[in-house]
A = this chain, B = another copy of it.
Amino acid sequence: MLPAPGTGTGPGQAPGTSTEPAPGAVAGPGPGGLALAGYVGRSKDRVLATLVDWVRIPSVSAEPSHAGDLAASAELCRRLLEEAGLSDAQVWPTGTAEEPGGPAVFGQWLGAGPDAPTVLVYCHHDVQPADPRSEPWSTPPFEPKVVGGRLFGRGSSDDKGQALMQVEAARGLLAERGRLPVNLKFLVEGEEEVGSPHLGALLQQRRDQLAADVVVVSDTTMLAPDLPSTSVSMRGLVAFDIVLRTARADLHSGIWGGTVPNAALVAARLAARLHDSAHRVTLPGFYDRVVELSEAEAASLAAVPFDEERYKQQAGVAYLEGEAGRSPQERTGTRPTAEVVGIHAGYGGPGMKTVVPAEANLKLALRLVPDQRPDEVEASLRSWLADEVPPGVELSVARYGGVKPLVTPLGHPAVKALAQVIERVWGKAPVFTREGGSGPEEALSRVLGAPVIALGVSLPVDNFHAPDERFELEQLWRGILAAGELLIELGALGRPGLGPAR
């Protein structure tokens, strides 16, 4: 999962050149009085060495040549779960023998009894390619190195560091107390960075084994150590591949130009009409089901500091635009969007060719918010196209995906428990944020019928998906403490206190 830009304390910088506040310099009660305080204090060297070993494995799910590394990463993760004291630790292959997916890792501890809630922790052990952008790394991406209290390396924060944080919380509680306050399951996925192509099938297949009362995801960020936050929503996603044909073949613009329909123009007009002058999506009924934020959540979101200049700089854009009357944070997290992700028609090579294009391809990706439904949006798009596309133009529409938006209400007992834990560890009540993207959380919630909460401790400056990815070690230590406290709070709630499961 990717952090929200424009937030946190500064853009990504090379090690040693940081202007960020030194780690640990935040206000708050510190680790005193927390269940795992002693354990964390004793374990730092070992935990760091373990993370370094793990980050050293280039488990890049996007590159088939790294299949062996993915397997090695999964096996290391399985061993960590076993060493933590979980049982049934195993690697789950995904995909088929002919087209294998990235392996997932499972482990569980079910000794808390039937009245205790069952918690499923979700993380992932695959990583982004080393260098999707053109900028170089300051340190080699798979030679992890601690500089200034931060571990640099691909996967250090996304997501091996946060996965290890959860494993260590379980290990610590089991070591200190011999038992956990909840029944605990781990699902550490191996292909999150390529869009979790087999997760849905895996969840269906293993639904009984993965059954839980609440899902805790550790794959997000918090705004800053002195501005702790938790994400309570992810946008849904449905995409469409639209092909428009106006003629049998491209036509000569000298002979036919000015009198025959032009597929490029038909597509461009559709794209241009997708939004009105207030940049609202014009699909009929598109906003009918959109739920406005509660006052509490709106206030929480409004409290997030936002530096527009830095946001534009991070995006590499000169200006912002979007739905009128909404702030950039609202637009990306709480409002639905319709993006033209591709438009292609006619001649695109060097120089010029005087054709009237016969075919156009328009690709749209729509991000949805509660309570929009992909099926209704599809029906709306098809009806809009029927109105907008001139009769006589051949139209074909293929739908891709259909992730529903996900939200966990602020009033949910699990969210309240998480907020208490965050305040206890970081010294401030968290801000509630919404993610603009669409991750595996929706499938987890839908298939398992359980609410999803997010304990994410990476920072926006940790360079997810970018060169010089890093993990603030102070956040790792606090994260272990928080993960331990969270299990204790959820255990204290008991199953009935968590509300109805599926």
Interface residues of chain A, those whose CB is within 8 Å of chain B, are: 2, 4-5, 133, 235, 237, 239, 241, 246-249, 251-262, 264-265, 267-275, 315-323, 328, 331-332, 335-337, 339-348, 351-358, 360-361, 363, 365, 367, 390-393, 400-401, 435-438
Contact = CB atoms under 8 A, between A and B. Distances in A.
A262 B357 contact: no
A271 B345 CA distance: 12
A365 B354 contact: yes
Question: What is the count of identical protomers in the complex?
Answer: 2
A247 B317 contact: yes
Nearest to A281: B258
Contacts of A251: 315-316
Given A237-B354, A241-B351, A260-B315, 20 more contacts: A248-B316, A253-B341, A255-B437, A256-B436, A259-B328, A262-B339, A264-B271, A264-B340, A264-B341, A265-B271, A267-B268, A272-B273, A319-B392, A340-B345, A340-B346, A341-B355, A347-B363, A351-B400, A352-B401, A354-B365
A254 B318 CA distance: 19
B365 A436 contact: no
Given A5-B255, A268-B272, A332-B259, A344 B348 contact: yes
Given A271-B264, A352-B363, A253 B401 contact: no
A258 B273 CA distance: 15
16 contacts: A241-B352, A246-B318, A248-B316, A254-B438, A255-B437, A257-B337, A258-B367, A260-B320, A264-B340, A264-B342, A340-B346, A342-B348, A344-B345, A347-B363, A351-B400, A352-B401
A352 B133 CA distance: 20
A256 B315 contact: yes
A335 B272 contact: no
A465 to B, nearest CB: 8
Nearest to A268: B271
B2 A435 contact: no
A437 B258 contact: no
Contact of A354 (B133, B320, B341, B435): B341
Nearest to A3: B255
Contacts of A273: 272
A220 to B, nearest CB: 12
B352 A239 contact: yes
Given A268-B267, A318-B392, A323 B258 contact: yes
Contacts of A355: 341-342
Contacts of A361: 348
Contacts of A322: 258-260
Nearest to A250: B341
A341 B353 CA distance: 7
A121 B251 CA distance: 29
A158 to B, nearest CB: 13
B437 A332 contact: no
A39 B323 CA distance: 79
A394 to B, nearest CB: 8
A259 B31 CA distance: 39
A5 to B, nearest CB: 6
A258 B331 contact: yes
A343 B343 CA distance: 7
